[in-house]
Structure 1
Amino acid sequence: MKKNIFYLLLLVIGAWACSDEPEFPDPGLDATKSSIDTVRRDTIDTYWIAMNITAPNGIERIQVLNGRNYQVIEEFSSEYRGQKDVQFEYPVDLTSINVDTTLQYIVKVVDQRMRSYNKGFTLHVRKFSSPDIKVVGGADMMGLVSPVFELKALFETGLKPMASYRVLLGNEVIDENVFSDTLVYQYAYKRMIDTKMDWGKDYTIRIELKDNEGTLGVKEMKLRLIEMKRPFKIAKSTEKGVSFEMELFYDEERDRLDGMIYTRYSTSIVDGFEQTKLNYSRYEFEYSSDDLLVGWKRMTLDEELQDVDTSMSVVYTYVPGTKKLQTVDYEEGKPAFAVTVHDWYDHGGGEILP
């Protein structure tokens, strides 16, 4: 009988405990996810961190912390102590910011039962709108292995439309454009540049970008021809178990590529064992008396690198008396894959069409 009464009391206490609210509820925020925002200085001097706070036990204090080192920037106690529903706002002064900056804050709420809750705020502050030029590579000195190179840059003007740009090499304007009919705020610039350069001499390339209010942005870089070390082996691997290797052979007297061996390794699992398959190809290059590439031959070899399985040749034909490529033809008896140069560019490259 005593045991039955004891079990009954346990059931009653359990039911009472489950039906009542928790004694120490956690404080709640309008959202636990961190807040991320971006503003531009043209539009704002003060940014307000704002959030709704619900604290059933009453607020003890609210702290604003530096999100990078967790140092307390400011603490609020008497203003909010005992309150249970609060719209919290905290001003962030942006007037001293003149460059792109990222600010990070944490708002920590502690209730009167010493329970706490945090919410993070990340604010990306963009500088005042002005012409901005970012060159791919970003270095102030560009080392080139050839006087033919591609210049890539990103132009931005913030909230003000672009008016024009121009690119100068030394004192010579090599490219320019005016945005007259369209509103452009961001522009991906790309151009092939072919110029005469001497070894060891520095050249200056200057990019000028202007917005519709006449504000000018300038980016200058130095160019210099540098010697590229000659590679003798090139290797590359893929995620699918395939790797490639090229062994290069040179004619040292004429300073040109004489031939190469191309090896392809492919790995697979067969009956639970890893197997690697090798395929070889050997390439031989043929030049004219004036060092123009006039053809090459490829031979497919077996795994012992001895027997030739198949071979093919390619012939390059140039415009007579020039170094301009005219046609590329595969040897007779092979599938037709001849191509003709459709247009020729000053930088030495051509567009080839079947």
Structure 2
Amino acid sequence: MKKIIYISIALLGILYACQEDPAFPDPGFDTTSDVSVTVRRDTIDHYYIKGDMKVPNGVNKIEILNGLTYEVIDEVPDYNGQQIFQFEYKVDLTAITDSDSTLYYTVKIIDNDLRTYNKAFSIEVKRFSEPTISINGLSGSTLGVVSQVFELSAQFETGLYNMERYKVIFDGKTIDQGFFEKDTALYDYSFVCNEPMVKNQDYTLTIELEDEREEVRSQSISVVMVDMKRPVKVFRLNEWYGEKSLSREFNMAYNFDKPYLLDSIYGYTIGNTATGKLYRPITYKFYHNEFNMVERVESWWGDPEDDYATELREMWAYEYDEKQRLTQVYDLDEESEYDVEILEWHEDGRVKTYRRDPHRGGIAMELPYVQNAAGEFLHADSWLLRTRSIIVEYSPIPNPLHYKYLPPFYPDYNTRYLDLEILLMQKYGVVEVQEYKDEFGFNHDLYVDQIPEIIGAYATDSNGNMTINSLKDYNSYSEEYNLYEEYSFIYE
């Protein structure tokens, strides 16, 4: 008896389920996901939106909508009444010739039971292929630079065809040219230009690009060397849990009588990154000798001009000989044992050898240098890694806050001084930093195959002024780079 009852209940459930099912399912394409394609005008004049369509209740109407505004732009009556068929709609591309475009369509199906189904299509149409040159950092037709040594950065593209050769001409002189490897249709170009220029004078720079069909395109721009602006404010950003946040603000105070001198840097440490609340003002004060060289630095919590909540953190001094060559850096805290003593100089006055902590017999160390394209010797000794490190490569982009009157030494290698090193002591942006290795010494070529501990990236405005200096350090656990420090420069 129980079996009969169970069977009866099961049959009732089946009958009930059948009554709930629709007589005909909704209409639809063979796939439910939206379709996105890329096509080139070199190959087609028309694109066909296609798909297998099932409409069990029969088609009442098919409309083509603008995929952005959902306005009806066309109606397709050819499939009215049909149930299973291959849909096809012709899109005319002949109007797209000299610029890339993206077309958005939505196909709307309405069946005889007035049920509907929409499917979106996006068609990215690439213009006819031709050599194309895009110069980075260009505003209008003029590229402003702050030095005769500057990085020319551009992107070359030839579309469907491969690149053959390029040529760069500056003021009528070919300064770079070359051929491409096979199967190259997109190329990021970079070249350090070093040509004599006079400030505020226009120079013509032309880039020629040829594809495998021997079709040549060229782009000419004006290059003008302008005065480097000095920032009045700097924001430092750090990264917490994958998000950048403001951690410190610096304000530059230049000398009223001698505007080329920096009197102080007044800043804030950010207390609450959510509210941007400022707390613990910090000030660096610089005192100069008669030759404008910095002879003393003071670091304060607060503003030393204000008696409220100020505290002297530390002081250190620089000494020079009669030729204004640096001889010693020492901490004015009598308890400190960390000093720097200069032992030898190059003929041009650059430091050659020095030693740290001479009170305890510190060993002599040679100061390494990197020579840039302009022939300048840039000191490559750094402690950005909290241990001795070597700057293997510098960017040609000048650091707008480089302070030539402040020697690139501080009395104690400590994280407290890193802002001063990055902002004031480096003449150019840092591209690559490696941890110093005894077996490599100062031979920069030996560090080339090593993974950089720190890499730098920079952004400039149309006048060549640095706007962002971003440093990232290598995380050996994740094998990726994380934000180390990022500085954003604000100009008057």
The 5-angstrom pairing of residues 276-315 of structure 1 reads 278=280, 280=282, 282=284, 284=286, 298-303=297-302, 304-309=309-314, 311=316, 313=329
Q: Are 1:345 and 2:373 counterparts? A: yes
- Give, in angstroms, the shift of residue 288 of structure 1: 9.2
Residue type of the alignment partner of 2:264? M
Match of 1:93 in 2: 92
- For each residue in 1:121-167, what CA deviation from the matched residue of structure 2 results, as whole angstroms up to 9, or x when unmatched? 11111122221111113422223344332221111112222111111
Alpha-carbon contact 1:242-1:264 (below 8 Å) kept: no
1:320 alignment counterpart: 347
Structure 1 counterpart of 2:252 = 248
Counterpart of 2:264 (choices 260, 263, 286) is 260
Q: What SS is found at the alignment partner of 1:168?
A: strand
Give the whole-Å Cα distance in 2 for the aligned partners of 1:232 and 1:305. Answer: 23
Structure 1 equivalent of residue 136 of structure 2: 136
Quote the sequence identity (%): 31
**Higher strand share goes to which structure?**
1
Partner of 2:422: none
Residue pairs, 1:1-354, within 5 angstroms? 16-20=15-19, 21-23=21-23, 25-77=25-77, 79-98=78-97, 99-139=99-139, 140-179=141-180, 181-227=181-227, 229-238=229-238, 240=240, 243-251=247-255, 254-261=258-265, 263-267=267-271, 278=280, 280=282, 282=284, 284=286, 298-303=297-302, 304-309=309-314, 311=316, 313=329, 319-321=346-348, 332-333=357-358, 339-346=367-374, 348=376, 350=378, 352=380, 353=390
Task: State the partner residue of 1:7.
Answer: none
SS at match of 1:16: helix
TM-score, with structure 2 as normaliser: 0.58
| Per-residue CA distance 1:49-92 (angstroms, 9 max, x = gap) | 11121111111111122223333332122x21221112101122
C-alpha contact (below 8 Å) 1:152/1:189 kept by paired residues = yes
Distance 1:326 1:123, change over 3 A: farther
Relative to structure 1, the CA distance from residue 327 to residue 216 in structure 2 (aligned partners, 3 Å threshold; closer, same or farther) is farther
Structure 1 residues 347 and 218, CA, compared in 2 at 3 Å: closer, same or farther? farther
Change in 2 beyond 3 A, CA 1:169/1:186:
same
Q: State how many pairs are aligned.
A: 334
Are 2:266 and 2:283, in contact at CA under 8 Å, matched by a contact in 1?
yes
Note if contact 1:58-1:81 (Cα within 8 Å) is conserved in structure 2.
yes
Structure 2 unmatched runs, 5+: 1-9, 303-308, 318-328, 330-339, 381-389, 391-441, 443-492
Alpha-carbon separation, structure 2, partners of 1:276 and 1:220: 48
**Kept in 1: contact 2:192–2:373 (CA 8 A):** no
Cα offset for 1:326? 5.8
Letter in 1 for 2:81: G
Higher Rg: 1
Distance change >3 Å, CA 63–CA 296, structure 1 → 2: farther
Q: Which amino acid aligns with 2:265?
A: I
1:178, distance to aligned residue in structure 2 (A): 1.8
SS at match of 2:114: coil
Report deviation, 1:107.
Answer: 0.8
For 2:61 and 2:162, locate their aligned partners in 1 and report how far apart those are by CA, in whole Å: 47
CA distance in 2, matches of 1:93, 1:63: 17
Going from structure 1 to structure 2, the CA distance change for 1:100 and 1:62 (only over 3 Å counts) comes to same
Deviation at 1:210, TM superposition (A): 1.0
User: What secondary structure does 2:253 align onto?
Assistant: strand
Deviations 1:230-258 (A, max 9, x none): 43332344464652122323345554233
- SS of 1:232's partner is strand
AA of the residue aligned to 2:217: G
Q: Give CA deviations for 1:289-322 in whole Å, capped at 9, x if unaligned.
A: 5x7x7x6765443454442435474899975348
